[in-house]
């Protein structure tokens, strides 16, 4: 099991991250702390494989903790989960070796994707000592490039042009109103799981704008059509 520490000053957000984590197999929550100082104290007494780290916290920032981890040569990876969206902070995090960067608000699928990519890398390095160039290229270095190239010309795996057309038709009927995954699922008679994939794809293209609404229970993703961007879908239909 991959051991995870959540470092987040907002107890509600920390709880949501915990709930998200519980839905992903292969990970075990080691602890939750709310300040950089507490995180350093925790790391002095326990080892964790991965930290889910916020940037904005009282006393010291998450980037300072990330720098501390690198200076101390701790064998701990970090995924930033934060509202900090400015270029300087993102570049600093990547330079300090963050393995992923999630900007709040984000959807569960993006959280799941980040953890599963980390899991693949973690398991790969855990199972081999000496790597060949082709193995490194195939498993680690070329993944992002291949995904980017595929996304330019092909629908993601599991998506079809006919279903995409149906989803687009319903979305257009919403006009400028916000809508949820459930609404599109009910209108198209397609499962929520499948609809979520199509909405994620359209958000990646920039055709939809996504917002995360916090309420009772799990947060809800709401979407708004950006009609002037619909042309981006044509090559997939």
d(CA 95, CA 192): 38
Reported pTM: 0.61
- Residue 21 vs residue 32, higher pLDDT: 32
pLDDT of residue 18: 92
pLDDT at 148 over 50: no
pLDDT tens per residue across span 118-135: 988 888 888 778 877 777
pLDDT of residue 125: 84
d(CA 33, CA 211): 26
- Residue 143 vs residue 167, higher pLDDT: 167
Helix axes 108-126, 11-22, angle to 10 degrees: 60
What domains sit in the chain, N to C, each tagged with a CATH number? 2-128 (3.40.50.2300), 161-236 (1.10.10.10)
d(CA 227, CA 229): 5
pLDDT of residue 233: 86
How do beta strands 2-7 and 27-33 pair? Answer: parallel
pLDDT at 137 over 80: no
Which token pair is 102? 């999630």
pLDDT at 145 over 70: no
pLDDT tens per residue across span 40-68: 999 999 999 999 999 999 999 999 999 99
pLDDT of residue 107: 76
User: Residue 82 is inside which H or E element, if any?
Assistant: strand 77-82
């Amino acid at each position: 099991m991959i051991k995870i520490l959540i470092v987040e000053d907002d107890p509600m957000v920390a709880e949501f991250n915990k709930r998200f984590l519980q839905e992903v197999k292969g990970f075990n929550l080691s602890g939750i702390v709310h300040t950089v100082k507490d995180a350093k104290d925790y790391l002095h007494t326990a080892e964790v494989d991965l930290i889910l780290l916020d940037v904005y916290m009282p006393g010291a920032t998450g980037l300072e903790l990330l720098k501390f981890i690198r200076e101390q040569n701790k064998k701990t990876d970090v995924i930033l989960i934060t509202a900090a969206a400015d270029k300087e902070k993102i570049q600093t995090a990547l330079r300090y070796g963050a393995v992923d960067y999630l900007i709040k608000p984000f959807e569960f699928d993006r959280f799941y994707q980040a953890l599963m990519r980390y899991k693949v890398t973690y398991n790969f390095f855990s199972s081999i000592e000496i790597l060949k160039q082709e193995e490194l290229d195939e498993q680690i270095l070329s993944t992002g490039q291949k995904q980017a190239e595929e996304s330019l010309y092909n629908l993601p795996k599991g998506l079809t042009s006919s279903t995409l057309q149906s989803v687009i038709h319903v979305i257009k009927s919403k006009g400028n109103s916000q809508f949820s995954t459930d609404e599109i699922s009910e209108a198209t008679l397609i499962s929520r799981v499948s609809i979520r994939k199509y909405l994620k794809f359209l958000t990646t293209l920039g055709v939809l704008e996504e917002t995360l609404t916090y309420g009772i229970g799990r947060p809800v993703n709401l979407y708004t059509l950006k009609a002037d961007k619909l042309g981006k879908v044509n090559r997939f239909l």
